[in-house]
Structure 1
């Protein structure tokens, strides 16, 4: 429960945006009898334990209690993260919790393996017995074998396997020590941009491992320092700037005999010069498949791997003159041997099975959730309403499609056997609900927000831009300054039918603002052409759509004062906020830009080149969309915020922009956050950031 002395900024920070205490990482056993998940004890507790729900009795059991484990091992509640690899994985996943934040299960979901503070544990999910497996060094990303007899993990850049007694074998390592080469880990752009967090995969029979070898030596070296602590040595960080070299990534198969020893190594063969990105690896009972993408991201090949030779044979090829989006869960090989994918067809993203287009042109498929022998479960929205997300089922083998959710909201699912667990977020409920088979609700320990969203959704202007308007509660109709609060960029939405998306916006509204959130061209859910509108220009149409909404706002909210308009945003939203006061100072009168990309050639290869192309080929596009190049245009108050430890949008973005502004005599404010990364999980930092932004906006948008 919330504390009596809480303000919303404090609650929002303390509860990590009101997410702590929610059931998460849900896995359902293939017989449908057990639901496994992580959860903390309360809304301000970041330490997750592991739970199992008996579907028959609806009885919940804590099978791995982190308080007990910490008492045994003498670790603190925050569980110090011991490995650089684990810290990097959490940053890529935007993970702010501790304790058990991820786990793997065997095929029957009888055992789970996980690590806490680099220590390896296995829990029997039926008996609730937990054992620690001693390893010589801290481990990272443990994965239990399908038969439950072995665990593979990464240790100091090596891929290792041990049995349940702790007897270890190094499966893959370099013959000579080389800190630039790792085995079994995802490279930076795979984790940050491709959605591939893993670097090794068990075969279904537990006899083999497929593993990535990553050589980071071609990637540009950067240094991330801690200026507040000058005695601290800067940290090396390989960062693939747009137009520069990526890591060299290869895939290899290791056969492991019953004594836990590696018997041979098979190199998977493809032309890395033609397909630079390994986007997907999946090993099913029908074999091993990979998805490969070219550097330009205009071609994707799905290939079957001959595990005896490493040779590839192409199953399906997708091409697009703009780019090919990578979609969660796609491709996936079905048990009947057909390939299920999410592909651009008839102007929308469709579910395809083999040569068949399963979904209609009125549906935008967002992901493949999971597959069973009889079904494909996927997430989709009506093309006319990108604010919702529904769970759908495609029956096999006849490919008939059914909706499993109908309430307006954002729904996701986990499936096993005849059991389906659906997590739902709606506009009329402050907290998410996680229900098993539509009946039993898994307890949610998250706190209830101190603010209640007062939000209305609209489709605005000729482009029918999805727009949320958040108003102060019990407003008397007097003129209100306007605060735009967008993200506005590709692959992310802010306007959704879920109340949790508007808590911070509502707090700003309650301070006396009409808050406006608009998802313009380039944002997902509206079909192929809508997303492609930003090709080679991440600025013009993105900003035009924010302005279009502003023009229409007086018709929707007569008390909105268009002579006092602010804009705030983080990451791409920070870029958009700064762009607004540079390009449209007559419309936007103050901006807060948090962690903004200010030069696209300072951002990474996979994201930037997808939309902008290679900067060496299209320098004019990079120049026209650069904030640094247009610093001389600033006429309005601008607050820049950046974490100095940010390894995603490097602090160099804001520092170079600030230098350019100073060069042109443009007054601005800069808030540098020592020790803070791209996310801001620190409670004091997160709370005071909201307050600082509010004071800046109030100061500059006063009557």
Structure 2
């Protein structure tokens, strides 16, 4: 069995691998999800008991459902799409701080797992359950159903009805869930937060009445009702999001800030050290505020301002209160020659400027010890293709900058911590999958078992930095390549903000090795605009995204050809999905002298059809009178007749017909423009497919893409 079939059956060798790892605040146990094997798509809930060093199965979906349907409520399907989650079974869970109780939903039903005893019980609810979360004491579980926020006490009332209370609900208004923009563009996937004492909730109220409604319909199923979604496209109205403090006894306090000026609610945290902290941004995201909320009155006080003439880029895991009461904030250090992403505590620098901080992922250290104030931080240092874990001392009186790297070796490391327990996930080029290791007091306790399949080969890309911009790149040859044999080039591209392709992670190169073995030299480059290098490297694309990104890709390709003479630049294909699909089409339309054929997957072709927060962050408002949107439009570029027959480079367009992120209208309009200007192209509509093209669709397309590129490039 070859790679495409293996990858489809194993979800790219991820079935059976631990995911969604969390650690109890006291370090007593680790909680995670995993399926039973390399071809099993159903995730189960497990714990790893730190004292015994043993894993324990807590929740088996098949037993809990007892043969009943595993259909998901529409809101759950939407949340999984935002999370890019295609696994079955338990999609997510939530725990109390000490990981004694876990709450999760299966097919809209609510389950409460006692992680100490290992027992699981179904809790009756008022309707299909979304995003259940236990209170800090573990005695109550909040959940969302039909747009209402409710709290279950765990039993039945005397009349047999669910013993839960309606906390907030209104017709046509959503409570307790993140709106589309928050989940898709700001990484905020939740809409309510428990108070530390478990007696109240901070909840988002989402009014989408002003948001444009779009109709998505799969023509392959004409009998099905169309799906109407609220989609805030660039320049249109966003959802109106407000915050409210809700007592379990019915009390209600509104949270006050200037929502007209700062409409985006980006992050929320609430710990027992202080009241809620929220981050809000202006519509164009060039200015924001970190606000401290008084939980008694709802009044807010500005704790910090965030400003950047391009856009503000908050660091995940911030803001948050430190144990000494100071506020942790992520920001940029852009003076005295520095160009870094750093952490600050009430304005005091915590991390050295040579680190590119990516995420604050936990707190570690036993109480009342010299390590009690340590943060667990993911960051890069010099090489953007690698990521490491650092202990950052954050307690008052510590050295101003004190960050210590955890472990040795190269690769991509992620971590989770609590108490004296640290869980490290290690990815690299020298081994398959993630290796999850549990430590306590720096001593190895055990590993989370990885049941994923082992890929059939081990790709060895050549990673190097090229041009005066030191663009990260990777080159992959066929495993049987003989030096001196010139081969066509396949550029595998994404290139968009917030995402890197050139990583020291084996899984990133498995599909690319299949392409290389099919007769290509595969080239990958991370242009300016991608993260990991420096803020200036990322933000130079502001309002000139197309020119900078495409220019960097061309320069990187030519620089690599100088170093690798077996690259035949007279035969260059390019392929990508989403933003990568946009760049693939842009490449053959704008630079047909460099790129000769393109596979264009789910592209944004007209930026006025894409969402507000993403598009306006990089291009501004469509109404500002400039030609930025027209200059970035594939429709405009495709409408121009090619100068000569050699300029009409062939494209293969692919799009899911029920994609609610980049809607299929993008590709349909591009196809119409290409047809009108006489440019050659083909199209594969994916019936029933969303933006993820899940269920093995992407892998099944590989042979069709290969046939297209071989025909287009002549070999």
Instruction: Give the TM-score normalised by structure 1.
Output: 0.95
Aligned residue for 1:8? 3
Shift of 1:690: 1.1
Rounded to whole Å, the distance in 2 between the matches of 1:50 and 1:8 is 29
Out of 299, 306, 310, the position equivalent to 2:298 is 310
Stretch moving more, 221-230 or 436-445: 436-445
Shift of 1:64: 1.2
Out of 693, 696, 700, the position equivalent to 2:705 is 693
Shift of 1:371: 2.9
Work out the number of aligned pairs and report it. Answer: 682
Aligned residue for 1:75? 68
Aligned residue for 1:348? 340
Aligned residue for 1:381? 380
Rounded to whole Å, the distance in 1 between the matches of 2:9 and 2:694 is 9
Q: Would you say 1:43 and 2:55 are equivalent positions?
A: no
Aligned residue for 1:451? 457
Aligned residue for 1:145? 135
Aligned residue for 2:367? none
Q: Secondary structure at the match of 2:80?
A: helix
CA distances 1:155-194 after superposition (whole Å, capped 9, x unpaired) = 10000001011411110011xx32xx10001000000000
Q: Would you say 1:660 and 2:645 are equivalent positions?
A: no
Q: Secondary structure at the match of 2:493?
A: coil
Rounded to whole Å, the distance in 2 between the matches of 1:55 and 1:696 is 52
Aligned residue for 1:394? 392
1:465-504 equivalence runs, <5 A: 465-477=471-483, 478-504=485-511
Q: Would you say 1:418 and 2:420 are equivalent positions?
A: yes
Shift of 1:401: 1.3
Out of 607, 613, 634, the position equivalent to 2:614 is 607
Rounded to whole Å, the distance in 2 between the matches of 1:659 and 1:555 is 38
Q: Secondary structure at the match of 2:237?
A: coil
Shift of 1:270: 1.2
Stretch moving more, 606-615 or 368-377: 368-377
Mark the runs of 5 or more structure 2 residues left unpaired by the alignment: 156-161, 365-371
Aligned residue for 1:33? 28
Q: Secondary structure at the match of 2:251?
A: strand
* Contact 2:344–2:350 (Cα < 8 Å) also in 1: yes
- The 4+ residue runs of structure 1 with deviation greater than 6 A are none
Q: Would you say 1:325 and 2:313 are equivalent positions?
A: yes
Out of 525, 535, 539, the position equivalent to 2:532 is 525
1:106-145 equivalence runs, <5 A: 106-145=96-135
CA distances 1:53-75 after superposition (whole Å, capped 9, x unpaired) = 1112211110112232233xx23
CA RMSD of aligned residues (A): 1.3
Stretch moving more, 11-20 or 83-92: 11-20
* Contact 1:120–1:142 (Cα < 8 Å) also in 2: yes
Q: Secondary structure at the match of 2:209?
A: coil
Aligned residue for 1:635? 648
Shift of 1:661: 1.0
Stretch moving more, 554-563 or 243-252: 554-563
* Contact 1:344–1:528 (Cα < 8 Å) also in 2: yes
Shift of 1:451: 3.1
Aligned residue for 1:620? 627
Rounded to whole Å, the distance in 2 between the matches of 1:12 and 1:674 is 21
1:348-367 equivalence runs, <5 A: 348-367=340-359
Rounded to whole Å, the distance in 2 between the matches of 1:326 and 1:660 is 38
1:72-221 equivalence runs, <5 A: 74-75=67-68, 79-81=70-72, 83-165=73-155, 166-174=162-170, 177-178=171-172, 181-221=173-213
Rounded to whole Å, the distance in 2 between the matches of 1:238 and 1:369 is 32
* Contact 1:454–1:473 (Cα < 8 Å) also in 2: no
Shift of 1:224: 0.3
Rounded to whole Å, the distance in 2 between the matches of 1:197 and 1:387 is 27
Rounded to whole Å, the distance in 1 between the matches of 2:38 and 2:383 is 32
Rounded to whole Å, the distance in 2 between the matches of 1:619 and 1:503 is 43
CA distances 1:57-94 after superposition (whole Å, capped 9, x unpaired) = 211110112232233xx235xx221x111111000000
Aligned residue for 1:293? 281
CA distances 1:437-465 after superposition (whole Å, capped 9, x unpaired) = 16322110111112321211011112111
* Contact 1:194–1:326 (Cα < 8 Å) also in 2: no
Shift of 1:618: 4.8
